[in-house]
Amino acid sequence: MTDTVAQPAVADAKAAPDTMAWDSGLRRLMMIYLPLGCFVLILLFPFYWMAITSFKPNAELMNYKEHNPFWISSPTLAHIKHLLFDTAYPRWLWTTMMVAIGSTTLSLIASTLAAYAIERLRFRGSPYVGLGIYMAYLVPPSILFIPLATVVVQFGLFDSPLALILVYPTFLVPFCTWLLIGYFKSIPYELEECALVDGATRLQILRRITLPLAVPGLISAGIFSFTLSWNEFIYALAFIQSGANKTVPVAILTELVTGDVYQWGALMAGSLLGSLPVAIFYSLFVDYYVSSLTGAVKE
């Protein structure tokens, strides 16, 4: 190693003690920062493109010769205004929000109780019940939506957001139960034994001891469920017909895509607004997302 290359390596080693000694600055730049930069650029570009399209006037959207497509010369709120005042977009947002909150609440209640029964009440066959619920996670919605559509019709729930609230737990409950079993496992059983000795009932133990300790797990499961229900598409597409009851992802695709000339500005504005709630939610709870994602995989 020459001195010129060794110099940055020393500085680097100071910044991060774990860095391997022979990692020189230039090598680090080429092997780590350059590829990372490319990854970030490619992963984020569609969002940049979505955002910039939402604020571009139509004249700029369709004219790359005179306007640099990567920038906006005269930003406009016309697309967002069109979306909010000329379409049922606020209504769709509201429906989506209600469906996501409803199904998240339902699945949280169901999976907390189930996880508690499987992990803490321990009965013969409880591991098998846990495994059964886990297997339910492996059944993809794509093979269920046709028979589910007939079930929904039988129940008289076709075209009602209530159908979605009841159906979404099929993929939320397995995930949440699995996540919460992991969290309950990490709570010392001795705490519950103490409470039992003191004469608390099992439900009191669940409410006053186990649940407060499992709050991080509940938050993880909750935000995850919210995101998954917000993003769900195929059930919402198959079970909802009237324009007013549609969720945002379905409505944008079926109500805003009209004719042969696509309103790209409005479409991208709709996508941006539809992504914002989950993105904001996500930015508030990043650590929970990462821990639930990795926790569920490691389990």
Partner 1 sequence: MSVTTLSSPAFVHRQQSWLVRLFDYKPFLIVMCLAPAIGLLGVFLTYPLGLGIWLAFTDTTIGRKGVYVGLENFQYLLTDSLWWNAVFYSVVYTGIATFGKFALGFWLALLLNNHFPFKSLLRAIILLPWIVPTVLSALAFWWIYDPQFSIISYLLVDVLHWRSTNIDFLGSPWPARFSLIAANIWRGIPFVAISLLAGLQTISPSLYEAAMLDGASAWQRFRYITFPMMMPILAIVMTFSIIFTFTDFQLVYAITRGGPGNSTHLLATLAFQRGIAGGELGEGAAIAVSMIPFLVFATLFSYFGLARRKWQQGESND
**Which residues between 276 and 295 bind partner 1 (CB under 8 A)?**
278-279, 282-283, 286, 289-290, 293-294
Q: Which stretch binds partner 1 (CB under 8 A): 15-23, 74-82, 186-194, 209-217?
A: 15-23
Q: Which two tokens stand for residue 113?
A: 């109780």
Told to check if 105 binds partner 1 by CB under 8 A, we report no
Query: Is 223 in contact with 287 (CB distance < 8 Å)?
Result: no
Told to check if 97 binds partner 1 by CB under 8 A, we report no
Map the footprint of partner 1 across residues 211-270, applying CB under 8 A.
227, 230-231, 233-234, 237-238, 248-250, 252-253, 262, 264, 267-268, 270
- Of residues 6 and 30, the one with the C-beta less far from partner 1: 30
What backbone torsions phi and psi does residue 71 show, to the nearest 5 degrees?
-140, 165
Map the footprint of partner 1 across residues 138-177, applying CB under 8 A.
138-151, 166-167, 169-170, 173-174, 177
- Of residues 11 and 146, the one with the C-beta less far from partner 1: 146
- What is the SS3 string spanning 11-78? HHHHHCCCCCCCCCHHHHHHHHHHHHHHHHHHHHHHHHHHHHHHCCCHHHHCCCCCCCCCCCCCCCCH
Distances, alpha carbon 82 to alpha carbons 32, 85, 157, 255, 267, in Å: 44, 5, 32, 14, 11
Count, residues near partner 1 per rule CB under 8 A: 97
CB within 8 A of 227, min separation 6: which ones? 278, 281, 282, 289
- Sole binder of partner 1 in the list 3, 14, 18, 242 (CB under 8 A): 18
The residue type of 149 is A
Told to check if 7 binds partner 1 by CB under 8 A, we report no
Cα–Cα nearest to 282, from 220, 238, 234: 220
- Of residues 63 and 74, the one with the C-beta less far from partner 1: 63
Q: Which stretch binds partner 1 (CB under 8 A): 84-92, 130-138, 181-189, 212-220?
A: 130-138
